[in-house]
Amino acid sequence: MEYHHSIHKDSLYLYALSAKTLAASSGTDLTKSLAEIIFINALLRHGKTDSASALIEACLKKNTVSNPATRNIYFKLAALKVDCFGDASNYKDALSELYRIISEAEQYKDSLVLAKNISTVGVINYNLDHVPEAFNWYFKGLLFITDDPRFYSVAAVLYINLAETYRWVQQTDSATFYIDKAILLCKKNENLFFLANALRVKASIYKEKKEYSLAEETMLECIAIREKSEGKLLLSNEQLAVANIYTRSGNIDKAIKILNDALMLSELKPDNSAPQANTGYEVDALKISYYTSLAQCYRLKGNSKKYEETLEKIIASKDAFYQANSARSIAELQTKYEVQKKKALSLSRNLLLPGKITGSMVHSLLSCLE
């Protein structure tokens, strides 16, 4: 079980400090690296992405993919590096890292790493509104899933992602099928973080079916679980879902208050003294979603002035977001990944043909997998 998802973030931080201290005094290199991974997860849970990223880079130098003894640690660190890019909405660099991890996992035939990182590629495509590509990546990820309990968490994530994407394209029967599978796995694996995510999607499905009482009840259950591990939520998918439920059920004023209060708090510095300036990576998809929901509320209320003001904020936010995550750059990365994969496959076949294997052929094959 991925323990860190179900522990309150403050408790996790204290636990991580203790683990580092114990590992430093009497641990092996392996236990020291595992302690660092616990600490990195704690940093990310507290939003300290820069500190986490610096520690990841330092740990990667000591844990290489080529060494069987450190390969598992390497893949965990590489996935955390992707999380750092994702937390900053830096999807271009996240995808670049993911394509490299996938190539390495293919080389070493690590199905668990492949399923996990392929799922993440699907999420990024979904966030960028590349829905058909997202479906393709999710179903590709499912091909690597087995009945081994080690796959429970990644399988649950894939089912959650499929359910959310089917909900988005208004195929609620398929969405319900996958979210029910996800909830069963989350409970079986006792992963509170993934269970909360699954309940959020389930509530959204109820909303699409206009079963608003069930939607609100499920969403409040989700928030209760999330706040056990995260504390009070500011900007969150869960809170956004509650606001959208109120909008759909006609309680628009309540939705407007939830959205405006959250957006105002998200702009404040940690000491609540003044608004923070936004830069490209700070304006993420979640904030755009808040503004989009708020604009819809104002439109339904007939408040044209507020509606137009919010549309301007959406445009400004999207401009900054897509400037940092240009579709062209991402498409180039995906093409590069496919070309490298085909080239590596072709060269590996050539190596199996009768005849002399040259040093240049080996070098060329390895370069394709870098």
| CATH code of the domain covering residue 243 | 1.25.40.10
| Percent above pLDDT 90 for the chain | 55
As a whole number, mean pLDDT of residues 275-287 equals 52
pLDDT band at 325 (very low <50, low <70, confident <90, very high): low
As a whole number, mean pLDDT of residues 119-146 equals 95
Classified as helix, coil or strand, 275 is strand
Cβ atoms of 159 and 145 within 8 Å: the answer is no
Joined tokens for residue 82: 């992707």
- Whether residue 52 is contained in a domain is answered as no
pLDDT-wise least confident of 80-84, 199-203, 260-264, 280-284: 280-284
Q: What is the pLDDT of residue 333?
A: 65
- Whether residue 287 is contained in a domain is answered as yes
- Whether residue 85 is contained in a domain is answered as no
Q: Rounded mean pLDDT of the chain?
A: 84
Cβ atoms of 118 and 101 within 8 Å: the answer is no
Cβ atoms of 170 and 138 within 8 Å: the answer is no
Joined tokens for residue 52: 């986490």
Q: What is the pLDDT of residue 282?
A: 40
Say how far residue 227 (Cα) sits from the centre of its chain.
19
pLDDT exceeds 80 at position 366: no
**What is the rounded CA–CA span in Å between residue 291 and residue 201?**
20
Q: What is the pLDDT of residue 280?
A: 37
308 or 232, which is more confident: 308
| Domains: count for the chain | 1
pLDDT exceeds 70 at position 359: no
Torsion of CA 296, 299, 305, 308, to 10 degrees: 50
**What is the rounded CA–CA span in Å between residue 337 and residue 106?**
12
Joined tokens for residue 270: 């940690």
pLDDT exceeds 60 at position 270: no
CA distances from 330 to 44, 133, 289, 308 (A): 25, 12, 21, 31
pLDDT exceeds 70 at position 210: yes
pLDDT exceeds 60 at position 275: no
**What is the rounded CA–CA span in Å between residue 140 and residue 118?**
7
State the angle between helix axes of 152-168 and 111-127 in degrees (0 to 180), rounded to the nearest 10: 20
Domain encompassing residue 243: 233-325
- Whether residue 302 is contained in a domain is answered as yes
- Whether residue 288 is contained in a domain is answered as yes
- Whether residue 171 is contained in a domain is answered as no
pLDDT tens for each residue of 14-68: 888 888 888 888 778 889 999 999 999 899 888 888 899 999 999 999 999 999 9
Joined tokens for residue 348: 């590996």
As a whole number, mean pLDDT of residues 358-366 equals 37
pLDDT band at 10 (very low <50, low <70, confident <90, very high): confident
- Whether residue 9 is contained in a domain is answered as no
pLDDT exceeds 60 at position 368: no
- Whether residue 319 is contained in a domain is answered as yes
